Amino acid sequence: MAETAARLASLRHIASTLERALHDFTASSSTFCVVKTVNPQHPENTPKTLFILDSSFNPPSIAHLSLATSAICNPFPADALPHRLLLLFSTHNADKAPSPASFAQRLTLMTIFAEDLLRSFRNPSKPLDGSLFSLPHYSDRHHPSNLTIDIGLTKEPYYTDKSAAISDVIPTRYTSGPKHVHLVGYDTLKRFVAAKYYPNHTPPLSGLTSFFSAGHKLRVTQRPSDPSDGSSAEYGTVEEQAAFLNYLGSGGLENEGFQREWVRQIYMVPGEGGVGVSSTRIRKAAKEGDWKLVGELCTEGVASWVKEMGLYGDEAD
């Protein structure tokens, strides 16, 4: 009980600090900043691969946990060490209007989620999302339990612009110039190659040139159809999702500006944990006081904070 009270007191202090950082960023001309670093390591351990998990985190869920765990524990050979994880929140989302839980609360939830993620790496026998995973055989220096996680903000709504903002920020945040690997679901891949998001380019998907030319990548987790998530049906079977990647690689969108060789920088992996989990479902459960379900869909720390702070209790249906 005393440990829980101490942690909550610490989190309230962190929340206050993050709120000030958010206000400073909003008032600045910068388009990217890191407001918190969890588990900072020696400066020489600068990343060569920056995994980026970009979401509204409203709230973070075990689906986010699955995306991060998969990338960190099962990286592709081209994902050079050292690794670092950036949890990124955009104050300007291309598709979504502002929604429940203040931006400052989101940053606090992201920080708690980062701590929960590290705790799962340090105790893999008790995975937080109920799935089993094995940690890679890295040296202590590169072991996932020693991963550094940044909590970042951007004002950019699109992935291409987000990567540019991260690389171009002054002063430089990542002096080693790491390659970016965006951790996304299949639905995000479809939006990433949707021409409507690049109206200022001719052909539209030529707007992706700078992203791929810089060596950045997408790690796409398939989204299996799930009966509890009606929206998942529109993306087809996992076989159809794999076929779409082959379609891109065979020049299916070349007329719109997508170069077939770019598909070498898009990795597709099977969806395992987090199927059927959505932030909407979590918020609904929180509003109804179904803390058992919230605890099943969120990591332990996130679920506790949502309950303690009464988040989403007044969300409209």
Residue 101, pLDDT > 80, answer no
Mean pLDDT of 184-208: 97
| pLDDT for residue 166 is more than 90 | yes
Query: Which has the minimum average pLDDT: 45-59, 173-187, 274-288?
Result: 274-288
pLDDT digits (tens, 9 = 90+) for 225-282: 665 555 666 778 999 999 999 999 999 999 999 999 999 999 999 987 666 788 999 9
- Per-domain boundaries in the chain: 2-126+140-309
Query: Given this model, what pLDDT does residue 13 score?
Result: 87
Looking at per-residue pLDDT, the higher value among 192 and 273 belongs to 192
Q: Max CA-CA distance within the chain?
A: 62
**pLDDT at 132 (0 to 100):** 44
Per-residue buried b or exposed e for 38-58, using 16+ beta carbons within 10 Å of the residue's own CB: bbebeeebebebbbbbbbbbb
2-126+140-309: CATH number: 3.40.50.620
pTM: 0.91
